[in-house]
Amino acid sequence: MAHQAHSYHMVDPSPWPIFGAAAALLTTSGLIMWFHYSSMYLLTLGLLSMLLVMLQWWRDVVREGTFQGHHTPTVQKGLRYGMILFITSEAFFFLGFFWAFFHSSLAPTPELGGLWPPTGIKPLNPLEVPLLNTAILLASGVTVTWAHHSITEGNRKQAIHALTLTILLGFYFTALQAMEYHEASFSIADGVYGSTFFVATGFHGLHVIIGSSFLTVCLLRLIKFHFTSNHHFGFEAAAWYWHFVDVIWLFLYMTIYWWGS
Amino acid sequence: MSLRALARYGVARSRLGVLLRQASQSGAGGPLGARVPAAATMYYKFNGFTQRLVGAAASAAYNPQGLKPIVSTESPALIFGTTTKLASDLPAAGSFLGKNKVPDLQKLFQKADGLPVHLKRGVPDKLLYRTTMALTIGGTIYCLVALYMASQPRNQK
């Protein structure tokens, strides 16, 4: 290999962008076929190929970073900016749902009975399971920080324990939210209260599941010795994402669950 | 390669100092060379955010990525008195949850065989890649046919 006199990453030609685009076409067209003809054929094909592309693309990023040493400080800086911008865009995505909630709740229309929660809606008690969920997410924020400190100190065993605990807390949260949804006396079709409640908390739940998967990948990489005490950006990105999900929950809890009830 | 580029790769100040001193001896003695103390014992690394050199431990300066296990260049902590070590305190023969295969994988993935990263591991990679290719290309053709049929009028008399 020729000597490289700069610290940027010159990537190999990759099939994943075009295959990913094709998988997106199959998934969206698959949804159309499902809605119009109740045929799940194309949708299944789309989701399967999407999953394969995601697995292989991220596997290659791990190969480039951990096994080929392409993630120099310069490249890591780009990854950091990318993750910061991604999380910022997600923050604005949630801002939209909060906007819809406040638009409907600050000046309730006569159709809602002129009050919030609207007439006939029995909201969930914020001091029961939602408070427990708040405690769970705050605790998981502590354990993920514990895992980070263990990694920087080179204590792999304790990092594995702390990260496992974080992931378990994440799944406990998801299980409790699923139970709450099952028990709720209102549905997503129950007017603007149900819509704003289930869309905002539902997208948050989706992000918790994504964050838990991200942390699980980090746990597997930690077990496989991929992280060193001063180079573990994959873990840091997952921890940033996890804290972001945590903060969004605090806003959801304060506004929709507590003030909104 | 410029000195700045050397610093970017985390070259220790001691080595930079040698280069600078050589430069100052061969030339008229630049302003940079004058600032290097005779016994350079400090180490620097390149900070990606501030774009400046910042102080660092010797290990970080020699191995900015922290990928390779290094021989410690720092003096070990002083031991005052002796302690008896219990057998249970000694590190176990095998490490916790499997052993480190990263160095072997680094050798495998850095082999100069001309293969792109997505095919570097051989047959399993090729199988996965071809499966994905078949699904996406086949799916796209099927999808276009399905969309064409769906665009036709439902009842033709």
- Boundaries of every domain in chain B: 3-66, 102-151
Same domain, A200 and A82: yes
Residue A36 belongs to domain with CATH number: 1.10.287.70
Rounded to 5 degrees, what angle do the CA atoms A237, A78, A19 make? Answer: 80
Position B32 pLDDT exceeds 50: no
Same domain, A172 and A126: yes
Per-residue confidence band for B30, with pLDDT thresholds at 50, 70 and 90: very low
Taking only the tens place, the pLDDT of each residue in A33-51 is 999 999 999 999 999 999 9
Q: What pLDDT sits at residue B63?
A: 62
DSSP class of residue B41 equals: -
Same domain, A60 and A80: no
Q: What pLDDT sits at residue B65?
A: 59
Interface TM-score (ipTM) > 0.95 = no
Q: Which structure tokens are listed for A5?
A: 């006199």
How many angstroms away from the CA of A83 is the closest CA of chain B?
A: 15
Is residue A212 within 8 Å of A245, Cβ to Cβ? no
In chain B, whose CA is at the least distance from the CA of A62? B117
Q: Cβ contact (<8 Å) for B140 and A26?
A: yes
Q: Which structure tokens are listed for B37?
A: 């103390």
Per-residue confidence band for A221, with pLDDT thresholds at 50, 70 and 90: very high
Position A199 pLDDT exceeds 80: yes
Q: Kindly state whether A153 is in contact with chain B, defined as any CB-CB distance less than 8 angstroms.
A: no
* Rounded CA separation B60/B7 (Å): 12
Q: What pLDDT sits at residue B14?
A: 44
Q: Considering only residues 25 to 44 of chain A, which have any Cβ-Cβ distance to chain B shorter than 8 Å? A: 25-26, 29-30, 32-33, 36-37, 42
Same domain, A39 and A89: no
Position B138 pLDDT exceeds 90: yes
The average pLDDT across B108-127 equals: 96
Same domain, A53 and A163: no
- Pick from A105, A123, A125, A124: nearest CA to A115: A105
Same domain, A97 and A174: yes
Same domain, A125 and A58: no
* Rounded CA separation B126/A195 (Å): 46
A73 neighbourhood in chain B, CB within 8 Å: 8, 10, 46, 48, 64
Which of A9, A41, A70 terminates a domain? The answer is A70
Distance from chain centroid for Cα B92: 29
Which of A46, A70, A94 terminates a domain? The answer is A70
Provide DSSP, A163-201: HHHHHHHHHHHHHHHHHHHHH-SS-TTSHHHHHHHHHHH
Same domain, A77 and A65: no
Q: What pLDDT sits at residue B24?
A: 44
Same domain, A212 and A245: yes
Q: Kindly state whether A231 is in contact with chain B, defined as any CB-CB distance less than 8 angstroms.
A: yes
pTM of structure: 0.77
Position A134 pLDDT exceeds 90: yes
Specify the length of chain A in residues.
Answer: 261
How many angstroms away from the CA of B23 is the closest CA of chain A?
A: 21
Same domain, A20 and A137: no
Q: Cβ contact (<8 Å) for B118 and A29?
A: no
Closest Cβ–Cβ partner in A15, A63, A77 for B109: A63
Residue A106 belongs to domain with CATH number: 1.20.120.80
Taking only the tens place, the pLDDT of each residue in B93-112 is 468 889 999 999 999 999 99
Q: Kindly state whether B57 is in contact with chain A, defined as any CB-CB distance less than 8 angstroms.
A: no
How many structural domains compose chain A?
A: 2
Query: What's phi and psi for B56, nearest 5 deg?
Result: -150, 165
The average pLDDT across A97-103 equals: 98
Q: Kindly state whether B66 is in contact with chain A, defined as any CB-CB distance less than 8 angstroms.
A: yes
The average pLDDT across A184-191 equals: 95
CATH for the B102-151 domain, from 3.90.180.10, 4.10.91.10, 1.10.1200.10, 3.30.470.10: 4.10.91.10
B100 neighbourhood in chain A, CB within 8 Å: 225
Q: Cβ contact (<8 Å) for B48 and A73?
A: yes
Position B22 pLDDT exceeds 80: no
- Pick from B58, B83, B87, B82: nearest CA to B72: B58
Same domain, A78 and A31: no
Which of A36, A54, A70 terminates a domain? The answer is A70
Q: In chain A, pLDDT over 90 holds for what percent of residues?
A: 98
A72 neighbourhood in chain B, CB within 8 Å: 64-65
Q: Kindly state whether A9 is in contact with chain B, defined as any CB-CB distance less than 8 angstroms.
A: no
DSSP class of residue B142 equals: H
Q: Kindly state whether B101 is in contact with chain A, defined as any CB-CB distance less than 8 angstroms.
A: yes
Position A168 pLDDT exceeds 90: yes
The contacts of residue A189 (CB under 8 Å, 6+ apart) are A195
Residue A19 lies in domain? 1-70
Q: What pLDDT sits at residue B88?
A: 52
Number of alpha carbons in the 13 Å side-chain half-sphere of residue A71: 23
How many angstroms away from the CA of B8 is the closest CA of chain A?
A: 8
Same domain, A57 and A86: no
How many angstroms away from the CA of B7 is the closest CA of chain A?
A: 11
* Rounded CA separation B35/B17 (Å): 9
